[in-house]
Amino acid sequence: MTVMTDRPHLLSDEFEALARIGAREIEGLRLEFIDGVIRSKAMPDGDHGRIIQWLTRICIQHQPELWLHQGVGIKAQEYRTGRAIPDAVLAHEDAFVGQGDWADPEPILMAVEVTSWDSDTHRRDHVEKPRAYAETGIPVYLLVDRAKCEVSVYSQPNGRRYESVHVVPYGSDIALPEPVGIALDTEPLKNWVR
């Protein structure tokens, strides 16, 4: 009798080798590995980058010992078998010193995603990423959805999903719960809408 298992087509080590080769061969290629599926991550545009700058300034003003790190690849999901590249992660300034291409997510207080204009952004940012980050135990997931002009804050991960999801339209205030502990006035996001 054959027992079917839910094993990805690649192991994490095999994916990492493939991602290194791809990054070396194709400028700007960023690959992620979530739920056993390889996906390319879109290059950020100018508005996307400006949103991250805005959030970086707010985080530094409120918690100067923390930094909003960009482009950090992390080991994600329940058994750290996935590989994700959040747009930014909030952690201590030295959290990733000495780590390789795919960092341990333990010091991350918040993962941040800003939606792109590619066809799979909804599935990736609204379904796959929240589940992967909740399984990883990242306390807060902040999603800035440029298509819907909404900000979503996911918190209270239970190992499978986030128990709390709070969504507001651009222009509203929203709290980033502890351990982040920052209130965001999302009015400036209206300036970076296409």
Beta-sheet pairing, 82-84 with 73-76: antiparallel
What is the average pLDDT across 44-58? Answer: 92
Residue 123 lies in a domain: yes
118 domain residue, yes or no: yes
CA 134 to mean position of chain CA atoms:
11
Q: Assess contact for 144 and 113: CB atoms under 8 A.
A: yes
**What's the pLDDT score for residue 8?**
56
Higher pLDDT, 123 or 52: 52
3-state secondary structure of 76: strand
- Yes or no: say if 191 and 171 are a contact pair by the CB < 8 Å rule: no
Q: Could you tell me if residue 26 is inside a domain?
A: no
Q: Determine, yes or no, domain membership for 94.
A: yes
| Residue appearing with tokens 């996911």 | 154
Tokens of 155: 């918190």
Q: Give me the percent of the chain exceeding a pLDDT of 70.
A: 94
**Taking 70 as the threshold, does the pLDDT of residue 36 lie above it?**
yes
Q: What does the pLDDT read at residue 22?
A: 83
The number of domains in the chain is 1
CATH number of the domain that residue 163 is part of: 3.90.1570.10
Q: Could you list the residue range(s) of the whole structural domain that residue 107 is in?
A: 44-192
> Does 79 map to a domain?
yes
| Euclidean distance between CA atoms 30 and 42, whole angstroms | 8
Express as a percent the part of the chain with pLDDT over 90. 62
pLDDT in tens, 2-34: 444 455 567 778 887 878 878 888 887 777 788
pLDDT at 3: 47
Mean pLDDT along residues 50-63 = 95
What six digits make up the tokens of 185?
């006035």
What pLDDT shows up at residue 1?
46
- Distance, in Å, from the CA atom of 156 to the CA atom of 163, rounded to the nearest integer, reads 5
The C-alpha atoms of residue 12 and residue 54 are separated, in whole angstroms, by: 34
Query: Do the domain assignments include residue 135?
Result: yes
Q: Which amino acid is at 138?
A: I
For residue 72, CA distances in Å to 26, 68, 80, 103, 104 come to: 19, 10, 15, 7, 10
Helices (H), the chain: 12-25, 46-62, 121-122, 129-136
Tokens read off for 40? 């390319």
Residue 172 in this model has a pLDDT that exceeds 90: yes
- At residue 9, what are phi and psi to the nearest 5 degrees? -70, -25
Please indicate, yes or no, if residue 145 is contained in any of the structural domains: yes
What is the per-residue pLDDT for 171? 97
Select the more confidently predicted residue: 17 or 115: 115
Coil, helix or strand at residue 38: strand
- On whether the CB atoms of residues 90 and 68 are closer than 8 A, the answer is yes
Structural domain contains residue 35: no
Q: Check pLDDT > 80 for residue 148.
A: yes
The pLDDT of residue 6: 55
pLDDT of 4 reads 45
